Amino acid sequence: MGERQLAHCRDGAVRRRWLAELCEFLAFPSVSASPARQSDLESCADWLAGHLQHLGLDNPAVLPGLDGAAPSVYADWLRAPGQPTLLLYGHFDVQPADPTGWHTPPFQPTLIGGRIYARGASDDKGQLFAHLKALETWLATERRLPINVKVWLEGEEEINSPHLSVFLDREGRRLHSDVALVSDTEMPSPKQPSIVLGLRGNATIELEVRGSSRDLHSGRYGGAVDNPVEVLSRILAGLHTRDGHVAVPGFYRRVKNWSAEARRRLGANSLSDEAFLAGVGMPCAAGEPGFTTFERATIRPALTVTGVQSGYTSGDKSVIPARALARLSVRMVADQEPSQVAQLVMDRIHQLTPGSVRTRTRVNSLSHPVDMSASHPAFAAAERAVRRVWGVRPVYTRNGGSISAVAALRRRQRIPIVVLGLGLPSDAIHAANEHLHLSQLFRGIATVTQFLEELRQ
Ligand SMILES: [Zn+2]
């Protein structure tokens, strides 16, 4: 990054315009989980495609989703012959704005004390915006990029990318690149940038317990028939042992074993229990015995109940519900095979089902775990860019979350993917009052600007 790029990144008027643009982007309620928001997702995609064109990228396009699914946005700049092609990935869909507890309206971006508050501010609109502004920084000052770039912005990441594999069958060639950069994670602290080498996979499973053909009067039938809510509770309780292991036969069979040395290195770069739990309001950590809190959440698999629904809770109603529903998320690590593990969990659920009710299970989505090494020169380039802007070397770490696109790109294109998070653990992603620190945004833009140059050969 030369003087001109530096000046552009630091210019007060440019920064004010960037914030105005980011506010416009964040105002779209692009919630992929809500079918009612489909048109908002499409307007947001149109806005992005227009913005990419405005930045000077070629071939901006809204790529329609399959079967009415959310669209993706694409653009490229391939005018640097002989130079590598970098794929910039991000997602413009966001989590629903609930739960309540927002101090500002989630889709009216608000600047308070050096932070911008809005749903998607950190996950992932704010972070992908940093990529776009790095492209702007080059194009506005030099009218060219140091390398070739393709931009792919996805619209259904927050629902676990259900159409990803069909989408990549169709668009794989268009997206083909030498290396990818993804900013959709966090760094441990503003003083400690990090690159994520491992992500967990995810299988989401729906479980329904059905009892009677209609709700029953709990006075007439209570004590005489089985109750789907109680059976569901027993099944869910049966999926863990008391001490915190997942009680599904074969669940841990293919889990990658880490050497004592690798665990020590991971530990040195990981959050302490105290930092891990900061601000979440839990009295202590809990989980699989024999592992640290950070290990439990990154290099060990987990089975989590993400929602339960049944009966009547708004007041007293004398009823035995006819059905009860639960949703599960199984976070998997290398070298587990998601479909196999999901099957083991469903087998266990059916085993735990008594003859007095029926259960139905369904896998809603599957994504593979990611396990990379930092041996490709792209990681060294990222290290140099980070050091230039943040003054320190990034640490290599693991993240317990899942990014389906990273897993799919890794498996299909076998390219190195630099997962360089610009968020912070305290950003409250997926929760009320999500925000992004402007200092993270501006340094993120400078980092990506520098990274583009570091990749030039
Ligand atoms: Zn995200």
Instruction: Calculate how far, in angstroms, residue 419's C-alpha sits from the geometric centre of ligand 1.
Output: 12
> Count of CB atoms within 10 A of residue 69's CB?
20
> What spacing in Å lies between the alpha carbon of 189 and ligand 1's midpoint?
18
CA of 414 to the centre of ligand 1 (A): 22
CA 293 to ligand 1 center in whole angstroms: 22
Helix residue ranges per DSSP H, 67-179: 125-142, 164-175
* Closest-CA residue to 200 (of 457, 427, 407, 346): 407
The C-alpha atoms of residue 126 and residue 118 are separated, in whole angstroms, by: 10
Using the mean position of ligand 1's atoms as its centre, give its distance from the Cα of residue 430 in Å.
9
C-alpha radius of gyration, the chain, whole number? 23
Q: How far is the CA of 18 from the centre of ligand 1 (A)?
A: 21
Element (H, E) at 328: strand 323-332
pLDDT of residue 275: 84
Q: How far, in Å, from the CA of 120 to the mean position of ligand 1?
A: 8
How far apart are the CA of 361 and the centre of ligand 1, in A?
27
81 C-alpha to center of ligand 1: Å? 32
Cα of 3 vs centre of ligand 1, distance in Å, is: 33
pLDDT of residue 346: 98
- Could you tell me the distance, in angstroms and rounded to a whole number, from the CA of residue 109 to the centre of ligand 1? 18
Cα separation values, 212 from 218, 227, 311, Å: 12, 9, 13
Tokens of 301: 């698999």
Q: At residue 267, what are phi and psi to the nearest 5 degrees?
A: -60, -40
Please tell me the predicted confidence (pLDDT) of residue 272.
Answer: 84
- Helical ranges in 241-374 per DSSP H: 260-268, 273-276, 293-296, 338-352
Beta bridge partners of 425: none
Distance between Cα 126 and ligand 1 center (Å): 10
Q: How far is the CA of 92 from the centre of ligand 1 (A)?
A: 9
Those residues whose beta carbon sits under 5 angstroms from the ion ligand 1 are 123-124, 184
Within 13 Å, how many C-alpha atoms sit on residue 266's CB side? 22
Amino acid identity of residue 409, one-letter, is L
Distance CA 87, CA 402 (A): 19
For residue 58, list its beta bridge partners.
76
Q: What pairs with residue 77 in β-bridges?
A: 149
Task: Report the C-alpha gap between 113 and 18 in whole angstroms.
Answer: 17
Query: How far, in Å, from the CA of 123 to the mean position of ligand 1?
Result: 4
CA–centroid distance, residue 82 to ligand 1 (Å): 32
In tens, the pLDDT along 147-190 reads: 999 999 999 999 989 899 999 999 999 999 999 999 999 998 99
How close is the Cα of 392 to the center of ligand 1, in Å?
Answer: 25
What's the confidence (pLDDT) of residue 343?
98
Gap between the Cα atoms of 72 and 392, Å rounded: 35
Phi first, then psi, for residue 354 (nearest 5°) are -75, 165
pLDDT at 60: 98
Contact by Cβ (8 Å): 87, 179: yes
- Relative to beta strand 216-217, strand 319-320 is antiparallel
* 405 close to 89: Cβ distance less than 8 angstroms: yes
Which stretches of the chain score pLDDT less than 70? Answer: none
CA 390 – ligand 1 centroid, Å: 23
- What is the amino acid identity at position 447? T
Rounded CA separation 136/145 (Å): 9
Report the pLDDT value the prediction gives residue 271, as an integer from 0 to 100. Answer: 81
> What distance in angstroms lies between residue 428's CA and the mean position of ligand 1's atoms?
12
What whole-number distance in Å separates Cα of residue 296 and Cα of residue 14? 43
Q: What pLDDT score does 261 carry?
A: 95
User: What separation in Å is there between the alpha carbon of 356 and the centre of ligand 1?
Assistant: 41
CA nearest to 29, candidates 93, 73, 100: 93
pLDDT score of 66: 83
